[in-house]
Amino acid sequence: MNHTTIDYGDFAEYDRRLRDIEHHLLAAFLGGLAVGFIGVFVTGDGPGWLGRLYEPYVCFALALAVGATASGFGWALVTTFLAAVSTLVAAMGASALRGDEVLGMADDAAGVNRTLALLVCLGLAAYVTRRDDVWGDLAAAAAGAALIADVAGRAVPGLAGSDRSFWPYPAMVIGLLSVALVLALRRNVWGRVRALALAAMLSGLLSAGLAGAPAGVLPLPA
């Protein structure tokens, strides 16, 4: 008579993974609500320098953190989208309470779609950076380039929508943090060199593409 051996350790591991996914979903949702709601008041009532640092870089940081800690590529897509949607909804709700434009966070419905797409792409890029190959280098470069291009669009005189008050200190802080992010996402020297080189190239292309765009990639309501 054959006896089937059941390894209950597999069930325990499966249950642990499910709980981790549930906690990650909840953290992404609550994090998005907090970032969106607080952002309305920080950018509207806080010091100007704080608003310029908060908008949109805390949203970027949330998307990167959620994507990098996801359990898989599919979950990175789902949780980053959840965090982005909850951020937008919270910001719109807080704007309505203040009597501001409800779609002020992204200007219009089309802007909402662009904002969601940008944040989801950042989250997916953050997840791909966990790879140790050239795709991980490219993903780290793309994440850093998005930040650097936004800084350039705000700080470089002559570009449409440039903000003189963003230079030098806010721009320098975000620029240095962007470089540090690229370095932190890679695990070896050559990976960091490749990622930095790719980030420099991509940020130049993105800056040229954003030259005619409004200030900032993701404007939050003032």
Report whether pLDDT(222) > 60. Answer: no
Looking at residue 83, what is its pLDDT?
A: 94
**71 in Cβ contact with 14 (< 8 Å):** no
Could you tell me the two tokens for 4? Answer: 């089937």
pLDDT value for 14: 80
User: Is pLDDT above 50 for 56?
Assistant: yes
pLDDT for the residue 205: 80
Identify the weakest region by mean pLDDT among 33-37, 105-109, 137-141, 200-204: 105-109
pLDDT at residue number 46: 67
Higher pLDDT, 113 or 202: 202
pLDDT at position 149, please? 82
**What's the pLDDT band for 33 if we cut at 50, 70, 90?**
very high
Per-residue pLDDT tens over the stretch 93-149: 877 776 666 555 445 566 678 778 889 999 999 999 999 889 999 999 999 988 888
Spatial neighbors of 162 by CB under 8 A, at least 6 apart, are: 153, 154, 155, 156, 215
Q: Mean pLDDT for the chain?
A: 80
Confidence band of 80 (pLDDT split at 50, 70, 90): very high
Sort 126 into a burial class: Cβ within 10 Å, 0-12 / 13-18 / 19+.
buried
Which of 146-150, 190-194, 216-220 has the least mean pLDDT?
216-220
- Count of positions (residues) in the chain: 222
CB 81 within 8 A of CB 72: no
- 83-101 pLDDT, tens digit each: 999 998 888 887 777 666 6
**The residue to which tokens 């982005």 are assigned:** 84
Q: Give the start-to-end residue ranges of the domains of the chain.
A: 14-128, 131-216
Q: Which residue has the tokens 């200007």?
A: 107
The type of residue at 82 is L
Q: What is the distance in angstroms between the CA of the first residue and the CA of the last residue of the chain?
A: 74
As a whole number of angstroms, the distance between CA 124 and CA 221 comes to: 26
Among the residue ranges 4-8, 45-49, 67-71, 129-133, the one predicted with the least confidence is 4-8
10 Å Cβ neighbour count for 46?
14
Q: Would you say 122 and 146 are in contact if contact means Cβ atoms under 8 Å apart?
A: yes
- Closest C-alpha to 116, from 92, 100, 136: 92
pLDDT number for residue 13: 81
| Tokens 């800690």 -> residue | 69
User: What pLDDT is stored for residue 220 in this prediction?
Assistant: 42
Please state, in angstroms and rounded to a whole number, the distance separating the CA atoms of residues 14 and 62. 27
Q: Tell me the C-alpha distance between 46 and 141, whole Å.
A: 32
* pLDDT for residue 215: 44
Q: How many other CB atoms are found less than 10 A from the CB of residue 17?
A: 12
